[in-house]
């Protein structure tokens, strides 16, 4: 297990690419939180605010044809992989123009054209799915890689250990990224997770890294190493990215239960904000403040366009409830109903 140092210098185009990625996620999530609070967006919403450095750093070294699997907190992964804000927002609004025609909602966004094989509301369920995509690439003889994003809670699921084992013995081109944000839903991670998650790779003869996930350049560096290893046919890598979830587990949850988090702890982590730290770093290296501000304004404008797209979208027809459900779709709602009787 190694901890990667942050590269001393950031090339300007790389810096702008990473800042743009993180700001697109942050501004999207902030707006979603507002829409959820006013009741314009319904259903459970789990925001990625504070963790942007992990997805942006990892996805910055992936190709469009590489795969990622995601979690219930998946908006950031989708956008970092190049996903559409508009299609994502329309999905949150439940509109026909959404990624899953309004049927998946916040926790089930997918875009196979970008290798986004799906967010997943079941904890740890995306891990073996990403392994399956990696096995597919291996069998087809491509150099595609697959990335499984999951949380610290997901590391306690049986799917995690099973996937570590299979991916190691089969040398799958798989990268397992554990976003350890300090909390498994409402419980502090150390109260329910034994040991260091990255150390679990030792028993499976697999390299691992435990890194500062709030440093986007650290994430990019360790991602480059893991991706190069996977493309070369040398097998999987486990990355434990230490980060922090600034928002509640899900929006509105504090109206139902008391969140056992200390305000001072949250405030301390706000000082470690991955976006602000990176912005300061770019300024110190001589990048133009106006250019960095322009990147932020572009993200804000894109979000507002996405909101209007979602608001103006079409509600799915009731009969569409029976499509996209089975392989080999029934020809009518009546036939689908018959299958359930």
Q: What is the pLDDT of residue 155?
A: 95
Q: What is the pLDDT of residue 258?
A: 59
Top-confidence residue, 337 or 239: 239
Domain total in the chain: 1
Domain of residue 25, residue span: 12-340
**Residue 17, in any domain of the structure:** yes
**Residue 2, in any domain of the structure:** no
Residue whose tokens read 């970008």:
114
Q: Whole-model pTM above 0.85?
A: yes
**Residue 276, in any domain of the structure:** yes
Q: What is the pLDDT of residue 341?
A: 42
Q: What is the pLDDT of residue 195?
A: 94
269's tokens: 């982590």
Contacts 24+ apart (CB under 8 A), 257-261: 257/186, 259/186, 260/186, 260/187, 260/188, 261/183
Lowest mean pLDDT among 118-132, 200-214, 223-237, 244-258: 244-258
**Residue 36, in any domain of the structure:** yes
**Residue 7, in any domain of the structure:** no
- How many C-beta atoms lie closer than 10 Å to residue 339's C-beta? 10
| pLDDT exceeds 90 at position 250 | no
Q: What is the pLDDT of residue 310?
A: 96
Confidence of residue 340 (pLDDT cuts 50, 70, 90): very low
Lowest mean pLDDT among 39-53, 130-144, 168-182: 39-53
| pLDDT exceeds 60 at position 335 | no
CA 340 to chain centre: 35
Q: What is the pLDDT of residue 291?
A: 95
Top-confidence residue, 161 or 322: 161
Tens-place pLDDT, residues 61-103: 999 999 999 999 999 999 999 999 999 999 999 999 999 988 8
Q: Distance between CA 207 and CA 168 in Å, rounded?
A: 10
**Residue 4, in any domain of the structure:** no
Lowest mean pLDDT among 159-173, 211-225, 252-266, 286-300: 252-266
**Residue 5, in any domain of the structure:** no
Average model confidence (pLDDT) across the chain: 90
CB neighbour list of residue 136: distance below 8 Å, 6 or more residues apart: none
**Residue 99, in any domain of the structure:** yes
207: domain CATH number is 3.40.50.970
| pLDDT exceeds 90 at position 196 | yes
């Amino acid at each position: 297990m190694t901890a990667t140092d942050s590269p001393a210098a950031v090339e300007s185009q790389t810096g702008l690419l990473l800042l743009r990625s993180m700001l697109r996620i942050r501004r999207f999530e902030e707006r979603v939180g507002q829409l959820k609070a006013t009741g314009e967006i319904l259903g459970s919403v789990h925001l990625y605010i504070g963790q942007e450095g992990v997805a942006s750093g990892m996805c910055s070294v992936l190709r469009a044809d590489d795969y990622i699997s995601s979690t219930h907190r998946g908006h950031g992964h989708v956008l970092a992989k190049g996903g559409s804000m508009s299609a994502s927002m329309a999905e949150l609004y439940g509109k026909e123009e959404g990624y899953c025609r309004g049927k998946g909602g916040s926790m089930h966004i997918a875009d196979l054209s970008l290798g986004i094989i799906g967010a997943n509301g079941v904890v740890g369920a995306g891990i073996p799915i990403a392994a399956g995509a990696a096995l597919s690439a291996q069998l087809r003889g491509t150099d595609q890689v697959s990335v499984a994003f999951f949380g610290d809670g997901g590391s306690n699921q049986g799917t995690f250990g099973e996937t570590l084992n299979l991916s190691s013995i089969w040398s799958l081109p798989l990268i397992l990224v554990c976003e350890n944000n300090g909390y498994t839903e409402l419980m502090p991670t150390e109260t329910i997770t034994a040991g260091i998650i990255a150390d679990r790779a030792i028993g499976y003869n697999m390299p691992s890294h435990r890194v500062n996930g709030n440093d986007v350049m650290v994430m990019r560096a360790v991602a480059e190493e893991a991706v190069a290893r996977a493309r070369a046919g040398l097998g999987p890598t486990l990355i434990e990215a230490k980060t922090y979830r600034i928002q509640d587990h899900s929006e509105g949850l504090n109206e139902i239960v008391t969140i056992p988090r200390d305000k001072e702890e949250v405030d301390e982590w706000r000082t470690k904000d991955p976006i602000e730290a990176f912005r300061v770093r770019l300024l110190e290296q001589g990048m133009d403040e106006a250019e960095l501000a322009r990147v932020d304004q572009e993200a804000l404008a894109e979000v507002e366009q996405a909101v209007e797209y979602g608001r103006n979208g079409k509600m799915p027809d009731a009969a569409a409830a029976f499509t996209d459900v089975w392989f080999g779709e029934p020809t009518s709602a009546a036939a689908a109903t018959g299958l359930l009787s």
